[in-house]
Amino acid sequence: MYSLAVDMGTTTVEVALLGADGRELARATAPNRQESWGLDVVTRLSAVGAGAGSGGEAASAGSDAKVGPGAGVRTGAGAETAATQRDALRNAGQDSILDALDSALGTVLGRVLDTAPGAASPQNTPDTTPNTPPPTPPNNAERYDTAQLTRVVIAGNSVMAALLTGADTAGLVTAPYRAPMGSELILNTGPLREAYPDADICVLPPLAAFVGGDARAAALACGLNQTGADDEMTLLIDLGTNAEILLRVGDTLHVTSAAAGPAFSGRGKRLLPSEVLTATARALHEGALHPDGLLDTAHPAVWVADSGVAVWRMSERVQLSQLFFRELQLAIAAVRVAVDELLAAARCLSPSKLRSTPTQVYVAGAFGAGVAQHIFTQLGLLPRDWEGSVHTVGNAALAGAELVARGAVADIEGSLHYLDLAAEPDFGKKLLAATVLAPR
């Protein structure tokens, strides 16, 4: 008997295959096939609402096909097209999980085959002649007894959970925003269910509109699901395309999210996600990049392309344009404002004895994995006096999903307070002020 933990990311799907004793047997990743409909959650929601097909092109959905507020609420031909797109996105997401699972199974089966008696002996090699084509091997899932996969636990942001199950996304498109919950997130159809019809498949419910089940899982992994001391703050920042920020103060868990976009991922830049922030800090240190986000065209490593866009030559392999730094600058600012506003809200709702800085700061997600503490403070993402409290914890959402797969309960103790950043006064001004890439 096996179980599977899944981190359903907007960009990448990561899975962990667990044995009957709960021991992790293999990990694997696969691209999220939903990227054909858009790189971020907003464009994928628009794709459902507008009836956009793979590649983002609008389908012929009739006069009521539109993008924006109200796009998820439709009738007639438009509703039929939206439902078709929901099915397509659902299937693409589930196929992505199967892709990653197949890779994990390949790792496990490879170990079994490598250690099997006579595995490498010539007599066990299939006989092939010029007139007889070799047999096509089945994929790893077909070589695996599907009845043995008894449990699947999926952690994803609110949009990924809705799209994965084919739930109605109207509440995520128009205010007041509401994420599908409970029975709305039952995965009872699609490629994953067809492949494993008897498995218990659990999609972890979101904490709030845009604070998803991945944040719930990460909270479990980092201990924020439990109540804490009234005078202490514990902060969790899950860096991703949709960044989620959680703050535990006593019996209250404060949560919010920030639309960071795909800038942290390094996609198309020959950078690993963990290298994006380090590369930006290096550009600042070497003087190629100014704190206002502009590349210095007088710097010897900066040149101007024919398009007129400045480019920093980090190495022979990696060259980063002004557009890259602008996108990252806005992503950092969005997370920074989210953290600051959440702390301010907690101080307003908590007793005066609350400490001035968090006791522990956990930075989760592949985008922050392996990044030195001083990088976060050098870029202004976190205050400088937090350095001694910052811990990078890798994929906390997957770690939490593993705990649930082993039998843990992902309930949140105490009360939950959701901060809607878009409703905060002067949010735009605060975001603009936070775009300075400098220690604070």
**Model pLDDT for residues 404-423, shown as the tens digit of each residue:** 999 999 999 999 999 999 88
Work out the average pLDDT over 381-394. 93
Each residue's pLDDT tens digit, 117-173: 554 444 444 444 445 555 444 566 655 566 689 999 999 999 999 999 999 999 999
* pLDDT number for residue 273: 83
In the prediction, which pLDDT does 434 show? 95
Q: What pLDDT does residue 143 have?
A: 53
Q: How many CB atoms lie within 10 A of CB 118?
A: 8
Tens digit of each residue's pLDDT (9 = 90 or more) over 65-85: 333 333 333 334 455 577 889
Q: What is the pLDDT of residue 145?
A: 64
286-306 CB burial, b ≥16 within 10 A, e <16: eebbbeebebbeebebbeeee
90-104, 106-120, 286-300: least confidently modelled range: 106-120
Percentage above 70 pLDDT, the chain:
84
pLDDT at 51 > cutoff 60: no
**Which is more confident, 274 or 78?**
274
pLDDT reading at 178 higher than 80: yes
**pLDDT value of position 122:** 43
Provide mean pLDDT across the span 211-220. Answer: 98
**CB-based contact 250:350 (threshold 8 Å):** yes
Choose the weakest-confidence range: 13-22, 204-213, 261-270.
261-270
pLDDT exceeds 90 at position 95: yes
pLDDT at 353: 74
- Residue 176 pLDDT: 87
| Domains detected in the chain | 2-115+133-203 (3.30.420), 214-440 (3.30.420)
- The predicted model gives 7-24 an average pLDDT of 95
Contacts by 81-86, CB closer than 8 A, 24 or more apart: 81/51, 82/48, 82/49, 82/51, 84/51, 84/59, 85/37, 85/47, 85/48, 85/51, 85/52, 85/53, 85/59, 86/48, 86/163, 86/166, 86/169
- Distance in angstroms (rounded) separating the CA atoms of residues 204 and 100: 19
What does the CA dihedral 124, 128, 133, 138 come to, rounded to 10 degrees?
Answer: 0
Q: What is the pTM of this model?
A: 0.85
- Provide the pairing of β-strand 24-31 with 242-249: unpaired
pLDDT level of residue 351 (50, 70, 90 thresholds): low
How would residue 265 be classed by pLDDT, with cut points 50, 70 and 90?
confident
In the structure, what pLDDT confidence band is assigned to residue 354 with cuts at 50, 70 and 90?
confident
Q: Is 235 exposed, middle or buried (0-12, 13-18, 19+ CB in 10 A)?
A: buried
Helix (H, G, I), strand (E, B) or coil at 85: helix
